[in-house]
A and B are shown apart, each in its own frame.
Chain A
Amino acid sequence: MMLSAVAVACTKEQPKDDEKNPGKDTTEAKIELTSNASVSVPVEGDAVTINFKATADWTAASDAEWLTLTTKSGKAGDACSVKGSVVKNETNDIRTAKVTITAGKATAEVTVTQDQTNALNIKVLDYEVGAEGGTVEVEVEANVEYEVTIPEAVDWVHNAATKGLATSKVTLTVDPSTDLEAREANIKIAAGDLSSSIKITQAAFEAYFDFDEENSSIQYGGRLTIPQEGGTFTIGVSTNLDWRVHYDEEWPPEDTSWLEFKQEGNTIVITVDANEGYIARDNWIYVNAAEDLYGDKFGGYFQVYQEALDAPVTPQLEWSVSAPEAIAMGYNRLAFTESGALLVSDGAMIHALNPADGGYLKEISFDGIKPTSICNDDAGNVIVAENVVADINWETGALTSGTELKVYCTKDVDVAPKEITLPNGVYGTLGGFRARGDLATKGSITGVAAGAMFWFGYDIANYEAVSNYYGTQNSGPATGDAMWVPEYGAVLSYGDDLHDGVLYRSYDGTEKVYYRKDAYTPKWAAEQAGIEYEAWSLVTEAGAGGNENQNNMDILDYNGKKILAFTQGYHFTWAGFNADIYVLDITDIANPQVLATVKTADWIKSETPNGANSADILLREGDGFIEMYAIHSGLATIAKFIFNP
């Protein structure tokens, strides 16, 4: 800052000499400045020269130590000069000095002003602000004008005035944060070459969204179990976010008529009608909080599962055992021998169990045959088969492997089985073999071609595929989803001939039981022939959703009825570890009737899943009742039920 001090050359008012001292030189001495009466010197210091005219000899003096005069006197003349030097100004203030020139009685004064050393001092450099935002006041001590610079990316800190003077406060406002991480801003305060940065650290926004304690276990994929009679249920929500509750918007549930939900403040209110059927039902509900900021990070999803009326028949649990250690829990399948043993396969071996109590009897090995699938036909033949991988040359469309399937058939596991060779024309991994009828005379074999979205089927006569088989290229009801492995689906002939129709159930996006009468005509063939394609018809939704990896089923012709049973398998950990069993009378396939449901808790021994994901069911005729054997691999349980439909 420059001070505008004014130096004045002056003479004092005095009586005239000639009036007091006649005879002497009475000429009045004069000083006339020929350079400026005020001189500015930079902070670093400089030489100073003051020029003047004097009519008498003169002297000069400085009143400041920092201004040293090197010429302090001189003779009268028109080109007099005082020379001096100024040292660096180490202070933070502007300073001034006065040089007084005296000639006779005349004096003249020159003011020398020197700039200060600039200072910009900020004592507190770090500031912390809560997520809610606020203000930061920065005390700035400065003797110069300074500027506040907020980086371009820091759009959450604001400063109304970006310039300050002297000692002052810079007030910065900090926006509330929605950032889940703490954030920092370095704000530069600068004056010329001087600068300093302060750091503002804003705490992370601690977003939360939690179901109330009672429902906390269902927030991420759990099950809200609703009794058959329905009612109104609430889930409290604790959150500091905006949120909404909704169905899956891309794949909304097919039937939402029985369930309503709404958001009331921080509560989800769910109203469910009574379930007057024998089949439990469910829909999935999704909750999203501040999804515009956090996507699906906060919220939840849960299954509303409503129990059904008790079915007319209650299967009686004969026994339930934990799977013997000798049996590996993995891909497990069931069959029954003519000699009266319950067989359990585990992919590598077959194990015989006592059907009276589930006790372990012995291990059975078929030389050279890997028992990936075992099952029975209706005549009691034990069917053993290995999965077949059929590769395809995509350019030619021809299979490069897996052109034949081998199925082995025997009633006595101690006797070498009969080999049935089936020609194959479809790519994928073929397995999940099931049989109906009597393969020795007339029957059918069905299975799943995983990866190709197809099922396959063969009519069998005298242990051979009939020449007009046509079942190897038929798609299921949900063609958009491939089964990853054959055991994720089950396809079963309704009778002993594929012309009787086919039942289909798989992990393919539907997880329901479907039926198609004209199993012999694939959709593509119908389209090619220009005939109307007969679509799959829904048999039952029982067991749909949430538990679908393993879906084996069995049919028994019993007293003129066709009885269908199928299991639920194991699907991750959604909705618990479902091992429900359903039994239906499908004699009239257009009007199937639920006969029985067996709940998981009614027969499962273990509550700890072991990671295996397989299940199977076997129906056979007992003495005046139906025997039903079931295995759930993930919960390592084998059981026997009896019931009379």
Chain B
Amino acid sequence: MRKILYIAGVLSLLLSCSGKDDPTAYKWRDSWVDPSGGKESEDPETPGEDPENPSTPEIKGKPRYVWVDAAASFRYYANDAAYIEEDCARIAKMGFTDIIVDVRPTSGDVLFKSAVAPACTKVAAWVGGNYKFVERTATFDYLAAFIAAGHKAGLRVNAAINTMVGGYHSSIGDVGMVYDQPDKKNWCAVDNLSSGLTNAMDDSDTGPRFLDPANPQVQEFLLTLLGELASYEGLDGIVLDRCRYDDYGLDAGYTDAAKAAFTEYLGTEPKKWPVIDRGKTSLSSPNTLERNWLTFRCKTIHAFVKKAAETVHSVNPDVRFGVYVGAWFSEYYTSGVNWSSEKYDLKANESSYKWASDAYQKTGFADLLDFIFLGAYAGTDGVHGSWEWSMEGFAKLGEKRLCGVVPFAAGPDIGNASGFTEGHQEALIPDIVNTMLSSADGLFIFDLCHIRMYDYWDAFESAINAYLNTL
């Protein structure tokens, strides 16, 4: 078992965070927060890197993560383990230290061995300008192939799952567990739509079919899945994606299970159900019931993340556990997620957020994690800044809101954010790399498919090399 050095967080954080951080309470502490970029220290029982067993590659400097979305790269990897090996080598050459491999696309089917979840055999994706299903006929273990290839290339391999999803409804057909198993309909989200309270299975809009975070059966299923994942030989980490409420934001979460749990939370039936009027995208002055509902949703997610962390670590204490979230904290309450530290004094620091009650503060789940990824998805004109919707601002505010309780990596969506959609942003990449690595504990890039699409391989290699040369 590795022990990781922790360097005390920035002093200024103490001003915004209450309570003392106890770094020893967190098993996984990269050297991320070491400004000198020091190497991980090893305990005497597991000295150094074993050249014969490259499962624990060392890193220099702060870690650099690149996300590998399943759907976007499915046509390359689904049936070709050699392509995986080739790309891992290219990723390592660019200077990334970690890959985060999506092994549960939004369909909810999985790309790893599971006794409880269906195997992913096809995903809907854009290929050559056409939207179609990409089939997987190969039988090799997708995740194991990444672990082997990643470690061979000197990368750490982390697996990501789309969490609160169970199917995908697309214009070319439906795919996923909830479509294959109709009895799972009551696992699905219920949203307040123009058609009234509508089960996700009855929603005609295309997109992921979200599951109900408040449903104990859903949670139990996902925990089983995470246990299976954690048992993977050599896996370095697990990251939850879409561990939140349905894309409908404030209109999401109105299942019977949620109502029962919310009733227990209140001690009485909610006087209004759905709690929030349909179609609202924000609540500047929520009433008491609305505040309780917002808190309840975050509490539900918090409870799940806590159980998920415990499950993962009970299976394999050496597997890091983390979550990806959007860094736009000021809006993220609409997704039922409070990713800040519970030590963060929300009321004092974010007084304009009327939804941020004392109870809401306690739902912050950062303290439960080994690492966290902040999507700093600003556009090309927003690398620098102090506030949200600039990459730097996202990172700085993230640092403040996390109170140093967990290392965080931050970075942009280099394919979908404003200004990135047409490519040709090579010149911006050094600034992005430097800015993120100076303002966050690590660099996070979404997604490998955009590096391929816009041929940013050399740009990242050059930028990361330049960074490493400063160490």
Residues of A within 8 A of B (CB): 150-155, 179, 181, 183-188, 292, 294-295, 297
A184 CB contacts on chain B under 8 angstroms: 268
Binds A, one of B115-123, B141-149, B285-293, B398-406: B285-293
Q: How far is the CA of A304 from the CA of B20 in the complex (A)?
A: 51
Q: How far is the CA of A183 from the CA of B287 in the complex (A)?
A: 11
| B59-91 near A? 1/0 per residue, CB < 8 Å | 000000000000000000000000000000000
7 residue pairs, one from A and one from B, having the closest CB atoms: A151-B267, A186-B267, A295-B285, A153-B266, A153-B292, A186-B268, A153-B265
Q: How far is the CA of A295 from the CA of B353 in the complex (A)?
A: 10
Contact of B288 among A152, A183, A295 (CB under 8 A): A183
Q: How far is the CA of A295 from the CA of B288 in the complex (A)?
A: 14
Say yes or no for B465: interface residue by CB 8 A criterion.
no
Q: Is the interface of A mostly helix, strand, loop or mixed?
A: loop
B265-A152 in contact (CB<8A): yes
Q: How far is the CB of B270 from chain A (nearest CB, A)?
A: 10
B267-A155 in contact (CB<8A): no
How many chain B residues sit at the interface, stated as a range, is 10 to 19
Say yes or no for B205: interface residue by CB 8 A criterion.
no
Identify the closest chain B residue to A177 (Cβ): B288
A151-B265 in contact (CB<8A): yes
Contact of A181 among B265, B267, B287, B359 (CB under 8 A): B287
B285-A294 in contact (CB<8A): yes
Say yes or no for B282: interface residue by CB 8 A criterion.
no
Q: How far is the CB of A417 from chain B (nearest CB, A)?
A: 51
| B269-286 near A? 1/0 per residue, CB < 8 Å | 000000000000000110
B359-A153 in contact (CB<8A): yes
Say yes or no for B424: interface residue by CB 8 A criterion.
no
Identify the closest chain B residue to A151 (Cβ): B267
Q: How far is the CA of A350 from the CA of B435 in the complex (A)?
A: 66
Contact of B267 among A153, A292, A294, A295 (CB under 8 A): A153
Q: How far is the CA of A640 from the CA of B19 in the complex (A)?
A: 75
A153-B354 in contact (CB<8A): no
Say yes or no for B43: interface residue by CB 8 A criterion.
no
Sampled A-B contacts (22; CB under 8 Å): A151-B264, A151-B265, A151-B266, A153-B265, A153-B267, A153-B292, A153-B295, A154-B266, A155-B358, A155-B359, A179-B288, A181-B287, A181-B288, A183-B288, A184-B268, A186-B267, A186-B268, A187-B267, A292-B351, A294-B285, A295-B354, A297-B285
| B349-379 near A? 1/0 per residue, CB < 8 Å | 0010010001100000000000000000000
Identify the closest chain A residue to B289 (Cβ): A181
B351 CB contacts on chain A under 8 angstroms: 292
Q: How far is the CA of A387 from the CA of B25 in the complex (A)?
A: 72
A179 CB contacts on chain B under 8 angstroms: 288
Q: How far is the CB of A562 from chain B (nearest CB, A)?
A: 46
Identify the closest chain A residue to B267 (Cβ): A151
Which parts of B247-268 form the interface with A (CB within 8 Å)?
264-268
Say yes or no for B296: interface residue by CB 8 A criterion.
yes
B358 CB contacts on chain A under 8 angstroms: 155
A186 CB contacts on chain B under 8 angstroms: 267-268
Q: How far is the CA of A109 from the CA of B147 in the complex (A)?
A: 78
| B20-49 near A? 1/0 per residue, CB < 8 Å | 000000000000000000000000000000
Identify the closest chain B residue to A156 (Cβ): B288
Q: How far is the CA of A585 from the CA of B175 in the complex (A)?
A: 77
Q: How far is the CA of A295 from the CA of B282 in the complex (A)?
A: 14
A297 CB contacts on chain B under 8 angstroms: 285
Known: A155-B358, A155-B359, A292-B351. A150 touches B267 (CB 8 A): yes
Which parts of B278-331 form the interface with A (CB within 8 Å)?
284-285, 287-288, 292, 295-296
Q: How far is the CA of A297 from the CA of B295 in the complex (A)?
A: 23
Q: How far is the CA of A240 from the CA of B101 in the complex (A)?
A: 58
B284-A185 in contact (CB<8A): no
Residues of B within 8 A of A (CB): 264-268, 284-285, 287-288, 292, 295-296, 351, 354, 358-359
B288 CB contacts on chain A under 8 angstroms: 179, 181, 183
Identify the closest chain B residue to A187 (Cβ): B267
B295 CB contacts on chain A under 8 angstroms: 153
Q: How far is the CA of A188 from the CA of B287 in the complex (A)?
A: 25
Q: How far is the CB of A265 from chain B (nearest CB, A)?
A: 25
Q: How far is the CB of B162 from chain A (nearest CB, A)?
A: 30
Q: How far is the CA of A150 from the CA of B265 in the complex (A)?
A: 10
Identify the closest chain B residue to A184 (Cβ): B268
A292 CB contacts on chain B under 8 angstroms: 351
Q: How far is the CA of A183 from the CA of B270 in the complex (A)?
A: 12
Q: How far is the CB of B139 from chain A (nearest CB, A)?
A: 48
Q: A153-B295, A155-B359, A297-B285 given. 18 additional CB < 8 A pairs?
A: A150-B267, A151-B264, A151-B265, A153-B265, A153-B267, A153-B292, A153-B296, A153-B359, A155-B358, A179-B288, A181-B287, A183-B288, A184-B268, A185-B267, A186-B267, A292-B351, A295-B284, A295-B354
Q: How far is the CB of A577 from chain B (nearest CB, A)?
A: 32
Q: How far is the CA of A186 from the CA of B263 in the complex (A)?
A: 11
Q: How far is the CA of A297 from the CA of B359 in the complex (A)?
A: 24
Q: How far is the CA of A153 from the CA of B359 in the complex (A)?
A: 8
Identify the closest chain A residue to B291 (Cβ): A153
Q: How far is the CA of A185 from the CA of B266 in the complex (A)?
A: 8
Identify the closest chain A residue to B266 (Cβ): A153
B268 CB contacts on chain A under 8 angstroms: 151, 184-186
Q: How far is the CB of A422 from chain B (nearest CB, A)?
A: 39
A151 CB contacts on chain B under 8 angstroms: 264-268
Q: How far is the CA of A608 from the CA of B296 in the complex (A)?
A: 51
Identify the closest chain B residue to A185 (Cβ): B267
Q: How far is the CA of A187 from the CA of B268 in the complex (A)?
A: 10
Most chain-A Cβ atoms within 10 A of its Cβ — which of B288, B292, B295, B296? B288
B285 CB contacts on chain A under 8 angstroms: 294-295, 297
Q: How far is the CA of A470 from the CA of B296 in the complex (A)?
A: 62
A295 CB contacts on chain B under 8 angstroms: 284-285, 354
Identify the closest chain B residue to A179 (Cβ): B288
Identify the closest chain B residue to A199 (Cβ): B268
Q: How far is the CA of A123 from the CA of B306 in the complex (A)?
A: 41
Q: How far is the CA of A181 from the CA of B288 in the complex (A)?
A: 9
B264 CB contacts on chain A under 8 angstroms: 151
A181 CB contacts on chain B under 8 angstroms: 287-288
Q: How far is the CA of A155 from the CA of B295 in the complex (A)?
A: 13
Q: How far is the CA of A150 from the CA of B295 in the complex (A)?
A: 17
Q: How far is the CA of A154 from the CA of B268 in the complex (A)?
A: 10
A154-B267 in contact (CB<8A): yes
A185 CB contacts on chain B under 8 angstroms: 267-268
Q: How far is the CB of B90 from chain A (nearest CB, A)?
A: 39
A154 CB contacts on chain B under 8 angstroms: 266-267
Q: How far is the CA of A220 from the CA of B365 in the complex (A)?
A: 43
B354 CB contacts on chain A under 8 angstroms: 295
Q: How far is the CB of B265 from chain A (nearest CB, A)?
A: 5
B296 CB contacts on chain A under 8 angstroms: 153
Q: How far is the CB of B14 from chain A (nearest CB, A)?
A: 24
Identify the closest chain A residue to B299 (Cβ): A152
Identify the closest chain B residue to A295 (Cβ): B285
Q: How far is the CB of A266 from chain B (nearest CB, A)?
A: 24
Q: How far is the CB of A408 from chain B (nearest CB, A)?
A: 48
Q: How far is the CA of A475 from the CA of B296 in the complex (A)?
A: 51
Q: How far is the CA of A443 from the CA of B87 in the complex (A)?
A: 73
Q: How far is the CA of A420 from the CA of B351 in the complex (A)?
A: 60
A183 CB contacts on chain B under 8 angstroms: 288
Q: How far is the CA of A155 from the CA of B287 in the complex (A)?
A: 15
Identify the closest chain A residue to B354 (Cβ): A295
Q: How far is the CA of A187 from the CA of B267 in the complex (A)?
A: 7
Q: How far is the CB of B44 from chain A (nearest CB, A)?
A: 46
Q: How far is the CA of A297 from the CA of B285 in the complex (A)?
A: 10
Q: How far is the CA of A155 from the CA of B284 in the complex (A)?
A: 22
B265 CB contacts on chain A under 8 angstroms: 151-153
Identify the closest chain B residue to A183 (Cβ): B288
A188-B267 in contact (CB<8A): yes
B267 CB contacts on chain A under 8 angstroms: 150-151, 153-154, 185-188
Q: How far is the CA of A184 from the CA of B267 in the complex (A)?
A: 9
Most chain-A Cβ atoms within 10 A of its Cβ — which of B268, B354, B358? B268
Q: How far is the CB of A179 from chain B (nearest CB, A)?
A: 5
